[in-house]
């Protein structure tokens, strides 16, 4: 019968690898079967078996030197052995292939790949502890320590061995060494870790998953010194975050108990109070921070920034959760290290802002290249500042330097828009800041408001531009007048033209149009159409006999000029102005009409809009008082300036029933 170890009770006998003679249990998987064989083939003393049996009872992952498990796997390739174990192997294989409803979450060791640097030190900090130097355990007594110091000094540095002996035999110094070692684990397990870290880093990091927070922290801190700079930033971040998390979970009471248990066995005075352990644990946390700093200081600058960014993003869930204390302290140290760079780049940003303001009067062509450079500098600056920003956000704070820079650049964007109408450039700056400073809640809120405002303004401008384009299309018209000698009648945004003479639309102060039907002896001979417009100096008159040209042109003339003349007149009335039409005077509340008398002087009569009526007769606009037929104003459409404009305003007012003509602007 071949010897093995039971993974259920720890017994040393295991009948034919299929059933424990003590508890009748069988190995649950292939790895346990192989490990059981390896232990019994390579453990040559009952003391070693006891150590591994204890690890099995405590459900720890077994740790032994490199090559042992490989030898066990080789043994299982023996056909005779496979035949004997066929049933067990088959069951194990089937079990391993059975799907799981909730797949286990991979440990950091399973999720990362390790690469040891070429210039890795021969000994890590784990090997530099007094326990490793003298090859003694936490349970060895003073006599054993002294003997080992004398023996090791023959092949090692005498002063080093003497100091190690002093540290381990002095109760006060010993506490610091115990906490920097692997308290609470068996001597053989500690020895196996010291071997694995040199020869099999993947296995070392994998089995460390089962240890206590302090032991795991010490193991990870020692391994960091071996990591190669070419490892992925994500892998670096995973283990740094793991170290920070384990460091936070170290319980001084548990460490106090474990150390005193070992001291009781070794015959050393017990630690008198947990406060002493707490002080040493605090010192150890500072060591963990320094270990991380020393490790990432070996990285190229770009990789270091990537690692720090991944670390803080992972530890804080992108700033949403509080980070372990070690991460906050690490970021604070990082901020001190990059401060000179951030200050220098912040000055460059200030200079670029000043240059952009100075060049803004030169238009977009002058500003655009400088904004390109500003974009590049800010993104480069933010790449370095990003870990600090995320860390501050997780603490409920804002990075002051980032906040000041964001507000300064935001102010630039607002000025470019308000003072120089550079909507696109302002929008670009806003998008840049939203992308770069998303970790600053106050700034992000302001930028979101800016973005909405700019978006609304941009939309409004697009609508205005569409209206302007539609208006240009609606008022533009051109026609050739004449049978033989052609003259051009034209209206466009540039003005109104006739026979090469043009009047700008804004200079037109009056318009009019009308038609006259002609006949000979009662027989219609056609209709003449008349259009005119005037400015402060001249009146332009056009006569034509094409109704379609006449109708189309006066429609364009009304949209291009008539609406403006009406709006200007009504706005003036609201401000108290008065306008003369013929021998009458118009104000906001009505007309002052002239009543003619045959044998006496004319009489001025004031009539409100409620007392007035309008009608058209004989090619004229007539406005009269409803109860006095002699109080009438007659304005010929073809001769009186803006008769059509006045008529449109009055007819609109009568539809509303309001007492003031200016009220039509409100409606």
What values do phi and psi take at 538, rounded to 5? Answer: -135, 160
Q: What is the pLDDT of residue 314?
A: 93
What single DSSP character describes residue 536? S
Residue 612: half-sphere exposure toward Cβ, Cα within 13 Å: 28
Using CA atoms in the order 306, 307, 311, 314, what is the torsion angle rounded to 10 degrees? 60
* Res. 458 pLDDT band, cuts 50 70 90: confident
Q: For all residues of the chain together, what is the average pLDDT?
A: 84
Q: What is the pLDDT of residue 44?
A: 40
> Closest Cα to residue 425, out of 465, 368, 374?
368
Q: What percentage of the chain has pLDDT greater than the value 70?
A: 82
Residue 616: half-sphere exposure toward Cβ, Cα within 13 Å: 11
Q: What is the pLDDT of residue 36?
A: 53
Q: What is the pLDDT of residue 99?
A: 41
Q: What percentage of the chain has pLDDT greater than the value 90?
A: 59
Q: What is the pLDDT of residue 591?
A: 94
Report residue 253 as tokens: 């009471």
What does the pLDDT look like over 585-598, one tens digit per residue? Answer: 999 999 999 887 76
The Cα angle at residue 375 between residues 371 and 376, in degrees rounded to 5: 120
Residue 590 belongs to what H/E stretch?
strand 590-595
Give strand pairing partners of 491: 477, 496
CA distance 237 to 608: 85
CA distance 458 to 68: 72
What values do phi and psi take at 156, rounded to 5? Answer: -125, 175
Q: What is the pLDDT of residue 27?
A: 56
> Closest Cα to residue 33, out of 53, 58, 12, 5?
5
Give strand pairing partners of 595: 603, 631
CA distance 574 to 568: 10
CA distance 412 to 645: 47
Q: Which stretch of 12-16, 291-295, 450-454, 616-620 has the lowest confidence by average pLDDT? A: 12-16
SS3 227: strand
Segment 337-353 shows an average pLDDT of 95
Residues whose CB falls within 8 Å of the CB of residue 177, separated by 6 or more in sequence, listed in order: 129, 130, 131, 167, 168
Question: Is 70 exceeded by the pLDDT of residue 108?
Answer: no
CA distance 35 to 63: 10
Report residue 50 as tokens: 């006891």
Give strand pairing partners of 592: 585, 606
CA distance 6 to 186: 19
Question: Is 90 exceeded by the pLDDT of residue 20?
Answer: no
What values do phi and psi take at 519, rounded to 5? Answer: -155, 155
* Cβ 661 vs Cβ 646: under 8 Å: no
Q: Which stretch of 26-30, 203-207, 361-365, 500-504 has the lowest confidence by average pLDDT? A: 26-30
Q: What is the pLDDT of residue 665?
A: 86
Q: What is the pLDDT of residue 113?
A: 61
Which residue would you say has higher pLDDT here, 289 or 190?
289
pTM: 0.61
Question: Is 80 exceeded by the pLDDT of residue 60?
Answer: no
What does the pLDDT look like over 478-525, one tens digit per residue? Answer: 999 987 788 999 999 999 999 989 999 999 999 999 999 888 888 888
Which conformational region is residue 16 in: left (phi greater than 0), alpha (psi within -120 to 50 degrees), or beta?
left
Question: Is 70 exceeded by the pLDDT of residue 109?
Answer: no
* Look-up of token digits 């010993």: 174
* Res. 106 pLDDT band, cuts 50 70 90: very low
């Amino acid at each position: 019968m071949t010897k093995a170890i039971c993974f259920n009770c720890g017994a040393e006998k295991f009948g034919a690898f299929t059933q424990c003679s003590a508890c009748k249990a069988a190995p649950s998987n292939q790895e346990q079967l192989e490990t059981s064989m390896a232990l019994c083939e390579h453990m040559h003393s009952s003391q070693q078996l006891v150590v591994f049996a204890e690890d099995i009872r405590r459900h720890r992952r077994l740790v032994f030197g490199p090559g042992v498990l490989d030898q066990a796997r080789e043994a299982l390739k023996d056909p005779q052995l496979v035949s004997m174990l066929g049933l067990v192997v088959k069951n194990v294989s089937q079990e391993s292939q059975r799907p799981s409803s909730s797949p286990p979450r991979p440990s950091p060791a399973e999720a990362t790949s390790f690469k040891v640097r070429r210039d890795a030190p021969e000994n890590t900090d784990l090997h530099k502890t007094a326990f490793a130097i003298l090859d003694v355990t936490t349970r060895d007594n003073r006599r054993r320590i002294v003997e080992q110091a004398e023996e090791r000094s023959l092949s090692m540095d005498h002063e080093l061995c003497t100091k190690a002996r002093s540290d381990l035999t002095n109760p006060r110094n010993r506490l610091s060494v115990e906490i920097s070692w692997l308290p609470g684990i068996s001597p053989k397990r500690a020895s196996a870790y010291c071997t694995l870290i040199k020869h099999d880093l993947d296995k070392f990091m994998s089995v460390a998953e089962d240890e206590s927070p302090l032991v795991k922290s010490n193991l990870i801190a020692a391994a960091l010194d071996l990591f190669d700079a070419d490892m992925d930033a994500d892998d670096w971040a995973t283990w740094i975050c793991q170290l920070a998390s384990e460091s936070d979970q170290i319980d001084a009471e548990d460490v106090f108990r474990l150390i005193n248990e070992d001291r009781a066995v070794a015959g050393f005075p017990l630690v008198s109070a947990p406060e002493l352990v707490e002080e040493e644990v605090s010192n150890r946390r500072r060591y963990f921070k320094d270990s991380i700093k020393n490790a990432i200081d070996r990285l190229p600058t770009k990789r270091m920034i990537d690692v720090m960014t991944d670390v803080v993003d992972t530890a804080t869930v992108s700033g949403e959760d509080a980070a372990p204390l070690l991460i906050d302290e690490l970021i604070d140290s990082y901020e001190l290290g990059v401060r000179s760079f951030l200050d220098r780049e912040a000055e460059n940003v200030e200079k670029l802002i000043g240059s952009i303001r100075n060049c803004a009067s030169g238009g977009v062509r002058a500003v655009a290249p400088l904004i390109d450079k500003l974009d590049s500098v800010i993104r480069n600056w933010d790449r370095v500042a990003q870990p600090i920003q995320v860390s501050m956000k997780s603490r409920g704070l804002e990075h002051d330097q980032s906040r000041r820079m964001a507000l300064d650049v935001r102010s630039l964007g607002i000025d470019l828009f308000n003072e120089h109408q550079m909507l696109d450039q302002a929008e670009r700056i806003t998008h840049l800041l939203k992308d770069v400073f998303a970790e600053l809640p106050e700034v992000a809120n302001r930028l979101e408001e800016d973005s909405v405002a700019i978006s609304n303004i941009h939309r409004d401008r697009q609508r205005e531009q569409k209206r302007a384009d539609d208006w240009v299309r609606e008022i533009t018209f051109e026609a050739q007048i004449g049978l033989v000698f052609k003259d051009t009648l034209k209206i466009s945004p540039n003005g109104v033209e006739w026979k090469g003479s043009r009047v700008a639309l804004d200079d037109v102060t009056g318009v009019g149009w009308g038609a006259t039907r002609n006949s000979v002896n009662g027989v219609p001979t056609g209709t003449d159409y008349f259009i005119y417009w005037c400015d402060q100096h001249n009146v332009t008159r056009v006569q034509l006999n094409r109704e379609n040209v006449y109708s189309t042109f006066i429609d364009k003339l009304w949209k291009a000029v008539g609406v403006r003349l009406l709006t200007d007149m009504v706005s003036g009335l609201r401000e108290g102005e008065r306008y003369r039409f013929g021998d009458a005077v118009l104000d906001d509340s009505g007309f002052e009409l002239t009543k003619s008398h045959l044998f006496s002087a004319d009489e001025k009569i004031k009539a409100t809009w409620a007392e007035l009526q309008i009608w058209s007769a004989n090619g004229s606009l007539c406005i009269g008082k409803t109860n006095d037929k002699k109080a009438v104003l007659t304005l010929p459409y073809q001769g009186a300036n803006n008769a059509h404009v006045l008529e449109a305003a009055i007819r609109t007012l009568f539809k509303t029933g309001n007492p003031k003509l200016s009220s039509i602007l409100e409606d």
